[in-house]
Amino acid sequence: MPDGSSPVSRPSSAMSASGLTGVDIRHDWTVADIQALLDLPFPELMFRAQTIHRASFDPTDIQISTLLSIKTGGCPEDCAYCPQSARHEKSVKADRLMAVETVLAEARKARDAGASRFCMGAAWRSPKEHDLETVCAMVEGVKDLGLETCVTLGMLDSAQAGKLKDAGLDYYNHNLDTSPEFYGEIISTRTYQDRLDTLSHVRDAGINVCCGGIVGMGENETDRAGLIAALATLPTHPESVPINLLVRVKGTPLGEAEEIDPLDFVRMIAAARITMPKSRVRLAAGRENMSDETQTLCFLAGANSIFYGERLLTTPNPQAQRDRVLLDRLGMHTTGIGLDAAQA
């Protein structure tokens, strides 16, 4: 070019070097800022994401979590993506809460297979007190096995969050799912503020937050930017940020949703990494339908955590052996009990 400048658009002052190439933590991201990131040429976006990723993490390290559904089906919520909703035509059959010893047996298997964190999910709007006591016993037992603990139980009040903290809970998962503007198209039985209130109770109790969203539910690009903006402007960034690709389940309102371009999903991973530099960005649901090449691009974009195991609550996950082979091909290693040890 005549003036010697690069043909790549320069970042605006709102996306200056302090926010994009360092590890400064910002909470003033706007939807326009995130949209500008998502609109960058792909090589430029990946370069910025990888630069920030390397400033805070070992780029070859992957944290391994395993997720178990401890109470499946019968949920009164109407989340359009979820087969556990009792409101959908073909919902998953409701089961009782699993016994503590059954859960601990699954946790041992997860630990021996290489997981460092064990996540337990229950299909509730919010937990009843007697069920919460049982979950607290599960948390204590899993902690005794040497694993980090995470649960997702729906909405919590401050007293419930305190009980989980007292039991030793490390992480609580409660996703925002999508942007505030698109949220009403996906869920009508609880509000966005309900979700934010639960996150506040969890944070105030001193529990780490696991919070992300879902891509591919019919949202537009502005909604995707809005989701990242909502996460990145929380008072404290979530310690874990799961980015899920919609798993289309027949019988749910989103069972026939249109597939998205895999590169658009990779862009969301990169935007999460850039805006939340210290968070673990988890490549979560939808990996079963991703090619190895798409997953590899996600790792390059800053994803450094995966769910490991054959199921995520009620949907398939890549076979453990496939994950082992891919991570070995890429020269990646795992946090906690390594896959090499698990294979010994």
Residues annotated as catalytic (active site), given as ranges? 75, 79, 82, 119, 150, 210, 282
Q: Which residue has the tokens 């310690």?
A: 239
- Give me the phi and psi of 125, to 5 degrees please: -70, -45
Distance between CA atoms of residues 112 and 337, nearest Å: 8
What is the CA angle 6-59-13, rounded to 5?
Answer: 35
Report CA dihedral (311, 317, 319, 323) to the nearest 10 degrees.
-130
Residue-wise burial string across 66-94, b where 16 or more C-beta atoms lie within 10 A, e elsewhere: bbbbbbbbbbebbbbbbbbbebbeebbee
- Give me the phi and psi of 292, to 5 degrees please: -60, -35
Report CA dihedral (41, 46, 48, 49) to the nearest 10 degrees.
140
Q: Write the DSSP string, 230-257.
A: HHHTSSS--SEEEEEEP---TTSTTTTP
Distance between CA atoms of residues 49 and 3, nearest Å: 28
CA distances from 42 to 247, 256, 308 (A): 25, 28, 28
Smallest CA-to-CA distance from 32 within 268, 227, 226 is with 226
Distance between CA atoms of residues 48 and 294, nearest Å: 18
